[in-house]
Amino acid sequence: MDELILVRHGYAHCNRQGIIAGPERAGLTEHGRAQADALGGRLAIEGGVTAIHSSTTRRAVQTASILADTLGLPVQARPDLRVPDPGAAEGLPWALARARWATDPANPIRPYPPDAEPWPEYLTRAGRELTDIIDNHPGGRVVVIGHAETVTAAYCVLLGVSDLGRLKLATDHGARCIWRPVQEWDGVAVPARRWALVSHNDVSHLPPALVTHPIASSDP
């Protein structure tokens, strides 16, 4: 792999409404579609994209479809990149869900009904899916469309850590984060492949009117 490009889906109806939305709910707004279209145009100009992988959550699928149409590539569905399963919190406003249930001990922004997916379990299954993508692309620029949570899971994989601790990542809708594998100097031995973070939360492809700053949200 020459480059891993992590993309957060475009602005969705659930983001505008402030509700918790699982895999089947809440597609993109027109604003979100315009964000995806702008990113697809930038990637087409840059060239070199060889594969597109996507979460199977509706808003990510729609974002991936727009990029795929622009780039002329198929989308490879990755079910384990879907958002964390919200359980009984599905469809509720974030504030109401947080008032009704305690938060996940491993993630203070996520309400934690008894049937919700624990944050460590989400990181494990998303991390496993991301590792498979990385291991099976020897070259090219590979695009992965997901969620703010996907970005967190990917950073855990690439940094070789179980979680990001107190670090809160800001990832805007339609933004991309770019990583490249490090080419070590001859004779330098390392225990595992190392990565260079080229850019985080890159929205340079978006006109100012299309940029959102959801730092206080958890994605969904």
List the domain boundaries for the chain.
3-10+35-82+118-210
Largest CA distance in the chain: 57
Average pLDDT rounded to a whole number, residues 81-91: 95
pTM surpassing 0.75?
A: yes
Written as six digits, the tokens of 116 are: 């919700």
DSSP state, residue 108: E
Based on DSSP, count helices (H) and strands (E) in the chain, helices before strands.
6, 8
Average pLDDT rounded to a whole number, residues 32-48: 98
Distance CA 53, CA 75 (A): 6
CATH tag, 3-10+35-82+118-210: 3.40.50.1240
Q: pLDDT (tens digit, 9 = 90+) per residue, 131-163?
A: 999 999 888 999 999 999 999 999 999 999 999
pLDDT for 190 equals: 75
